[in-house]
């Protein structure tokens, strides 16, 4: 008999879609870890069957590090607000392929909003596309991993 616990297959449950618009960037070249591009997020909309919210305020940014070997490391933090006034802090990290524009990220959530506490237990995963002309990242579907 094995002491290894049985594992179930990973399940991806649709959570929402998201569109994120970057307003402006500041670029710090040649830092010890590469080029740091800080993109102020102007607008963010997350829409799904279980929750929907829009960005609250302008305290939101993507701290994107492009390493010397060309890997783009994503580090995003923002606050969302539901139509009922519930606040949700979102943070995600991941990688963006600068040649193709595809972004692979892992969103996490923090909230105390009544009825949304379940988000505190969600580890999400997403594949999106960065449009450099529109300065917009679109995630057609973000999934909760179970």
CA distances from 118 to 40, 45, 80, 107, 110 (A): 28, 20, 16, 14, 9
- State how far the Cα of 98 lies from the Cα of 93, in Å rounded to an integer: 15
- DSSP-based three-state secondary structure for 120: helix
- State how far the Cα of 120 lies from the Cα of 94, in Å rounded to an integer: 19
> Residue ranges of the domains in the chain?
13-145
- State how far the Cα of 5 lies from the Cα of 108, in Å rounded to an integer: 26
pLDDT at 7 over 90: no
pLDDT digits (tens, 9 = 90+) for 36-95: 999 999 999 999 999 999 999 989 999 999 998 888 999 999 999 999 999 999 999 999
pLDDT score of 5: 74
CATH number of 13-145: 2.40.160.20
């Amino acid at each position: 008999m094995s002491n290894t616990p049985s594992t179930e297959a990973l399940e991806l449950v649709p959570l929402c879609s998201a569109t994120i618009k970057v307003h402006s960037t500041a670029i710090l070249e040649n830092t010890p870890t590469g080029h740091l591009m800080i993109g102020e997020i102007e607008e963010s909309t997350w829409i799904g069957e279980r929750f929907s919210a829009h960005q609250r305020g302008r305290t939101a940014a993507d701290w994107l590090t492009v390493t010397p070997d060309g890997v783009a490391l994503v580090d995003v933090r923002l606050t969302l607000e539901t139509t009922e006034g519930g606040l949700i802090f979102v943070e995600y990290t991941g990688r963006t392929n600068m040649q193709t524009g595809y972004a692979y990220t892992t969103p996490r959530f923090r909230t105390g909003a009544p009825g949304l506490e379940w988000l505190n237990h969600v580890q999400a995963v997403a594949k999106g596309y960065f449009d450099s002309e529109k300065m917009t990242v679109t995630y057609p579907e973000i999934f909760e991993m179970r």
